[in-house]
Homo-oligomer: A and B are copies of this chain.
């Protein structure tokens, strides 16, 4: 059993310092299985996941991510890629610019929550040069890297969570 879903949602926060312990591949597989269970428009599943353990490649990903060093310090980096054409074929411009971004984001959120459920720490990295990531991973033109997720066991038990806007500020009810 993993953590209950509300606990996982509440405990998930951006972790940027990891223990050196490697993450068992069996757990990475379970996390990727969670990713592919995400919903997608028309069930197109317009996604691919590049799982990077290689130190040299992680270092290049770190460079591509505005030199954020914690990226290469993580035992594993999962690069989430969209397949825009898969969504465009069915849904046109809305598929390419909205649905395939949402679908891959839902899959990314599943990665974060499943990892949290297994006691891992993650960080969703969005600030990177897409062209540099494409180059370093030698991605086919069909793939657009949309997120990186760093994965590892959190170094510290003391975890700081970022604040949130109040429900009153973000919710409007129509009865």
With an 8 A cutoff between CB atoms, is A16 at the interface? no
Chain copies in the assembly?
2
Say yes or no: A172 contacts B4, CB within 8 Å: no
Partner of A109, one of B110, B137, B171, B172: B110
With an 8 A cutoff between CB atoms, is A72 at the interface? no
Partner of A36, one of B29, B114, B167, B174: B167
Known A-B contacts: A9-B114, A109-B110. Give 19 more (CB < 8 A): A1-B4, A2-B4, A6-B117, A12-B39, A32-B171, A36-B167, A41-B127, A47-B170, A50-B171, A50-B173, A52-B174, A54-B175, A57-B174, A98-B146, A102-B104, A102-B126, A105-B105, A106-B108, A113-B113
Give the size category of A's interface with B.
35 or more
With an 8 A cutoff between CB atoms, is A23 at the interface? no
Say yes or no: A147 contacts B102, CB within 8 Å: yes
Say yes or no: B53 contacts A124, CB within 8 Å: no
Using a CB-CB cutoff of 8 Å, which residues 72-127 of chain A contact chain B? 94, 97-99, 101-106, 108-110, 112-114, 116-117, 124, 126-127
